[in-house]
Chain A
Amino acid sequence: MTSKMAGDTRSHTNPEQDGMTEQQKLQHQLQVFQNSLPKVNQIAFQMLLNEMVPLAVSVENKLINSEIKGTPKRNSSELEEMITNVHITAPLDKPSHKLCQQLYEANDGTREKILERLRSMGNQIGNKLTELLVFSNNPNLVFKDMDLLSVMKFICRDVWKQFYGKQIDNLKTNHRGTFYLLDYEYRPIQTFALDDQSTEEELAMIKPFFEIPVGLIKGVLSSLGYKEEEVVCMASYIDRPTDRPKSTFNKGVSFHVQVNMQ
């Protein structure tokens, strides 16, 4: 599951070297462990991640179709029909950009269902990702006695690094359970653009792609003991600060996390 670039070969120190502190030894162990992991191409990983959105729409389409087809009453003619409908090669889904368009045009109920599905997919990944990152014995992570702030820092650094190859650009908090995670260059959407200049529609169409990280954040939090009901997470666009270098996508993303503790 590691999304490190293939060919990332960082030189590391000799293990037999004397005078290593405990911390350095652990760092070294982590390095060895990470180098031993199978590497996955970042681009392939990113594309699969992005394809989750059209996938969720297409699942919804199939569910609607199977509901329309009606009750599972089977007589001989229906069975015959089923046999004729058996495909060696199943019909393909519509192309991804059509499915994204469909999501944009869907009514509120359907869209909410699709977004919910995306969030829950992200949630599952988040839950498992924590296990993986904890399992990798990173000496920088001590999960015992971890307060909420360090959990959020864990998300900003390790989770984001693992997923998007970069850290969150900015983390803001009021120390009462409200956090803003600002990513000015959210990687997966950097090159997305519609053909024409209609930026409003474009922003609305790209918005569903934020549901995966939203679910991811909730998943990581829930696996670390912050229950689903206690956490509210939302994503929205923000303007990029003017002093940042120009990038292709002109908006940043802000993830607003609210943890309600009793």
Chain B
Amino acid sequence: MAIYSFWIFDKHCNCLFNREWTLAANSSSGTVNSKQNEETAKLLYGMIFSLRSITLKLSQSPPANEIRSISTGKYRVHTHCTASGMWFILTTDFKQQSYGQVLQYIYSHIYVKYITHNLLAPFDLAENPSETRGQGTRKINNRHFIAALESFLAPMIMQ
């Protein structure tokens, strides 16, 4: 299993966090919250958004039919959508089928612990209405969050 990148989107369609690993051998290589990934973030969001609406339309029974992963020829995208509208997204290779538990862990033990329980951090990064429509560029820069995420994902980047 190898992980290529990790993303968080919020309910306002903003990209809150992105992390891209460039060298599989070095878990600290790559970029955090890079400006250059802004376009990629939008494309990724668009892809997931469209496929999500398709899956919702194609479902027969009322419980929402959430998208779990998208596979392309080169990589696989795993998504975890919470009821509060947060999207946790991981792009990986094909060696492992499901990263659902990994994403669930990141949400419940890293995001909730270091962002939600941190009273000094805003609970919603969009501060005014002009930032709520995908226009916001604020990012999560909390050092505890980043450190915990790195140490949790580091063993999975290699191999």
A33 within 8 Å of B (CB atoms)? no
B64 within 8 Å of A (CB atoms)? no
* Pairwise interchain contact B122-A248, C-beta atoms closer than 8 A: no
> How many B residues have CB within 8 A of the partner chain?
15
* Pairwise interchain contact A194-B122, C-beta atoms closer than 8 A: no
CB neighbours (8 Å) of B140 from chain A are 195
CB neighbours (8 Å) of B113 from chain A are 191
A193 within 8 Å of B (CB atoms)? yes
Q: Which of A43, A54, A197, A248 contacts B119 (CB 8 A)?
A: A54
* Pairwise interchain contact B118-A95, C-beta atoms closer than 8 A: no
Q: Which of B116-159 contact A (CB under 8 A)?
A: 117-124, 140-144
A100 within 8 Å of B (CB atoms)? yes
CB neighbours (8 Å) of A193 from chain B are 114, 118, 120-121, 142-144
CB neighbours (8 Å) of B144 from chain A are 191, 193, 248
Tell me the complex Cα distance, A132–B114, Å. Answer: 33
CB neighbours (8 Å) of A206 from chain B are 120
Nearest CB in chain B: distance from A94 CB, A: 10
CB neighbours (8 Å) of A54 from chain B are 119
* Known contacts A191-B114, A193-B114, A197-B143; is-contact A95 B122 (Cβ 8 Å): yes
Write 11 A-B pairs (CB below 8 A) sorted by A numbering. Answer: A43-B117, A54-B119, A95-B124, A97-B120, A97-B122, A191-B118, A191-B144, A192-B118, A193-B120, A195-B121, A197-B143
